[in-house]
Structure 1
């Protein structure tokens, strides 16, 4: 690598000054916009727009999230010191100026478009060549003078005068992962479709500084190609990539007689294929969905692990932190973890663009790396608010003295329980407070429960397992136990787990657990502990509480509506049971 290019990369590093203020982070991307709040070095709240407006992964400016986070924390605009925004060229300034373009992109993902709106969508997403430029390109430099103005116009009136700062897209991915775990010296790897002209980065993190040592261009994106395959298989890009991951275990990659279109030599990433959806669709048209899914998943695993292995060896840093939408791929995360050179892996829990608001806050404050105190960073609702919603629902309910024990008994009897409790989770995973619960013994549950919820999934439901029983259930946990608390990685299951919890074990013998500690979520822990006392099984199914294509429920009203639609057996909402 020549010195000039190295110095350009270094400009994306965090500075050394540590700032202690009350700050707001914003991500206004095309996918999963949201807001985060920090007070000095403490993460206070974080929420994504989808939960409020009830449109999954909605992008644009997070107007409702900003209003909610201020009101929920009883803050006035004068209490905020600075606004931090993730993204210099992503989204493009034109899309930021005309937010309707981002709405168009959402409609395209929902397959509501014509040729004209498709072109507008491509522009909003940065798919046109001019928009995949880096901030230091001529186009990026042209946009720079307008950045603050286009953000300021969307802020509430009393926030318009606040200082606004921007941080690079992939830097925010890296800082989100680095500063929310405990190790000071780590290798941060980020990968997604693209952001600020880049799709993959390698960073050395030490002494609260993030130094980028390699980046791959937007056109060489693993994430983009996986998205193209997702779309070619009839699923939605930016939304259903997880379906492809689950489907892969049902196919045979060797049946697809195609070269995987990447070169991954000496730690560099180069894409050799087409970026046109029709070309990709034609390329795979003679193969089954299952085999194509297996082919793209296997190719991704082989190439990404090869690149990661190179950089671990080159830097001598075996402790990894990863972020970016590509690392929503739980099977890929497992294979990275299993590399002999890797000592540990931590996946930032809100790994996609939705987590960049918090990443921007952390890029600005540069706190001492430490594990997240909690992922329950969303709104909570008190007994009065829950009771008011129940009174209006028309449902019969009762207040229980020990709702956790009641839930455990019902689970042991084979009932399906929707659980709404405490603060909402931050990120794509339900971790016990906005969850649907069931026992793990039924291997057919993936079929009938998904039909009930009007979902189409190929990945089995995830198990929530007592921390103290983790080694009885999963193999090779060492170095990934912390990240396994957030349901971000798969492990091979023990024979005991396969036998007693067949409903959560995938065809390939893996499961994607949430390891549950008392100190992380005492109420949820007590449910599983009581269930274990009754059945001898230390795991229960935990899947997100939402209907098909909807975000996870946020309010008591959301929970009651989803419960009525799903016709599940029971709703445990706060201390009340229906």
Structure 2
């Protein structure tokens, strides 16, 4: 926990990494459920809403015998049991349903993080929160923190690995340079996350020619590619888009994305068969135009969500328009709220789709094969397109479609 004054941060409390951290607890639960620790925690979060309330309560009670949360200084997560922690969890949860364990772990995580947010405010003041790290990739917990009545603004950093240190180093370097030169430091907020490599038309043309795509697929160039993508979303439902600079962080935000019509529930199974192979309980997510967020999302404080790091309850009256991009069990959406200035090309795609359908949102999921990284280059995009069942690839201003 740290507090900020101007450009200065003061750290007040910290929990050492390792077994005593809340993240380690959630990772052990991931392993307990037969999933890959350090990678599949998001699956536990996605599974949790399916647990019946009674099963969740049983799991919370059982897990509470293994550890507790304290509000001392620092506030911390403490194991009640000594010895191998995985064995302690295994013994405590024997006989419990797998979805109940997920629900219990998620509830414990949510309650702990909300408590810590309240403790931070009580001890150090303030009505604005900045969150970062792997635990805060849990968008459901972030949603509950955002719902705190005292909270006026919320920022969740879009990446949780070591690569995020580079951003902090850049800010720190800037402050050091200002101090050395005697200039007044005026750092800008972290903005659009399109910080990766750009795509040049010459690269696209080289890949199309080098891989002889025109002999196997329909290849065409479009000056208004955004309109063409929108047409295909209406008629065929699914288009992969690779354009502009790649996203920094854990989410695809339109430039390395698979897009689909969010009102057609059938595209969920279609995308999973084509490329994603997701577990049945895992939902997809929407990109919603900023001007239309009130139609689809319950966001009374109008919090920004430019990095897809918050979940929102959805408007039941318009839920059918984004049915393929919400969690089918609890009706929440891990929404990317898009401002035109942050990505004009992607914004035009959704506007053109809206003009044809009246829907101001699209389903947006990362452009990658299951278990592989997000595509980066035109070569990556074509390779993934060819190894998947995707019907269309919008590559810059070019469209490649399977015959």
TM-score of the two chains, using structure 1 as the length reference: 0.63
String of CA shifts for 1:255-306, please: whole Å, max 9, x gaps: 4241432223256113215653344334334222211110000011111111
Q: Match of 1:456?
A: 278
Mind listing any 5+ residue stretches in structure 2 that lack a counterpart?
A: 176-184
Q: 1:495 aligns with which of 308, 313, 316?
A: 316
1:506-554 Cα distance to aligned partner (Å, 9 max, x none)? 1212101111111111110000000000000001011000001111001
Q: Distance in 2 between matches of 1:280 and 1:444?
A: 38
Say which SS state the counterpart of residue 353 (structure 1) adopts: coil
Q: Does 1:229 align with 2:29?
A: yes
2:162 to 347, 353, 356: 353
**In 1: Cα distance, 2:89 partner to 2:63 partner:** 13
CA offset at residue 209 of structure 1? 0.7
Deviation at residue 390 of structure 1 after TM alignment: 1.2
Alpha carbon RMSD of aligned pairs, Å?
1.7
**Aligned with 1:386: secondary structure?**
helix
Structure 1 residue matching 2:213: 3-state secondary structure: coil
**CA spacing shift, 1:276–1:314, aligned 2, 3 Å:** closer
Does residue 330 (structure 1) correspond to residue 153 (structure 2)? The answer is no
Q: 8 Å contact 2:276–2:368 — kept in the other structure?
A: no
- How far off its partner does 1:444 sit? 4.3
Q: Secondary structure at the match of 1:435?
A: strand
- Following TM superposition, by how much is the alpha carbon of 1:479 offset from its aligned partner in structure 2, in angstroms? 5.3
Confirm or deny that 1:567 pairs with 2:393: no
Q: Is it true that 1:544 corresponds to 2:366 in the alignment? A: yes
Where 1:496 maps in the other structure, the secondary structure is coil
* C-alpha contact (below 8 Å) 1:411/1:417 kept by paired residues: yes
Cα distance in 1 between the residues matched to 2:292 and 2:144: 23
**Residue in 1 that maps onto 2:205:** 387
Q: 214-223 vs 554-563, which deviates more?
A: 214-223
Alignment partner, residue 104 of structure 2: 295
Residue in structure 1 matching 2:261, options 428, 435, 439:
439
Which stretch of the first structure deviates more once superposed, 252-261 or 332-341?
252-261
Q: How far apart are the structure 2 equivalents of 1:226 and 1:275?
A: 15
Question: Secondary structure of 1:320's match?
Answer: strand
Equivalent-residue separation in structure 2 for 1:391 and 1:294 (angstroms): 51
Q: Give the 3 Å change call, closer, same or farther, for CA 264–447 of structure 1 in structure 2.
A: farther
SS in 2 for 1:568: coil
Give the whole-Å Cα distance in 2 for the aligned partners of 1:402 and 1:293. Answer: 46
Matched with 1:268 is: 75
> Kindly tell me: are residues 451 and 277 of structure 1, through their superposed partners in 2, closer, same or farther at Cα, counting changes over 3 Å?
farther
- What stretches of structure 1 of length at least 5 have no aligned partner? 1-201
Aligned partner of 1:315 among 99, 109, 124: 124
Partners of 1:289 and 1:368 lie apart in 2 by 50
Q: 1:527 aligns with which of 341, 349, 356?
A: 349
Change in 2 beyond 3 A, CA 1:485/1:449: same
Q: Is the 8 A contact 2:63 2:89 kept in 1?
A: no
Q: Deviations over 1:86-115 (max 9, x none)?
A: xxxxxxxxxxxxxxxxxxxxxxxxxxxxxx
Aligned residue pair count: 375
Structure 2: how far apart are the matches of 1:293 and 1:278?
17
> Against the structure 1 CA distance between its residues 390 and 285, is the aligned structure 2 distance closer, same or farther, given a 3 Å change threshold?
farther
User: What is residue 50 of structure 2 aligned with on the other side?
Assistant: 250
Q: Deviations for 1:337-395, whole angstroms, at most 9, x for unmatched residues?
A: 11122111110111333312222222333353422342111111211111111112232
Q: Are the counterparts in 1 of residues 284 and 325 from structure 2 also a CA contact under 8 Å? A: yes
User: 1:371 aligned to 2:194?
Assistant: no
**CA–CA distance in structure 1, aligned partners of residues 68 and 318 of structure 2:** 37
Q: 1:404 to 1:212 in 2, by over 3 A?
A: same
Offset of residue 214 of structure 1: 1.1
Residues 212-270 of structure 1 show CA distances to partners (whole Å, capped at 9, x for unaligned) of 01112334200001001111111111111111110111113124241432223256113
Whether the 8 Å contact between 1:453 and 1:548 is mirrored in structure 2 is yes
Residue aligning to 1:69:
none
| Deviation >6 Å, runs of 4+ | none
TM (norm. structure 2) is 0.89
Equivalences for residues 23-422 of structure 1 within 5 A: 202-218=1-17, 219-252=19-52, 253-256=56-59, 257-260=61-64, 261-266=67-72, 268-272=75-79, 273=81, 276-366=85-175, 368-396=186-214, 397-422=219-244
C-alpha contact (below 8 Å) 1:227/1:237 kept by paired residues:
yes
Q: What CA distance in whole angstroms lies between the structure 2 residues aligned with 1:284 and 1:446?
A: 32
Structure 1 CA distance, aligned partners of 2:63 and 2:94?
15
The 2-side partners of 1:326 and 1:468 are apart by 30
Contact kept, 8 Å, 2:238 with 2:267, in 1: the verdict is: no
Kindly indicate whether the alpha-carbon contact (under 8 Å) linking 2:289 and 2:338 is maintained by their aligned counterparts in 1: yes
Cα offset, 1:452, TM superposition: 2.3
Would you say the 8 A contact 1:488–1:512 is kept in 2?
yes
In structure 1, the residue matched to 2:332 is: 510
SS at match of 2:39: coil
Is 1:469 the counterpart of 2:275? The answer is no
Q: Is the 8 A contact 1:547 1:566 kept in 2?
A: yes
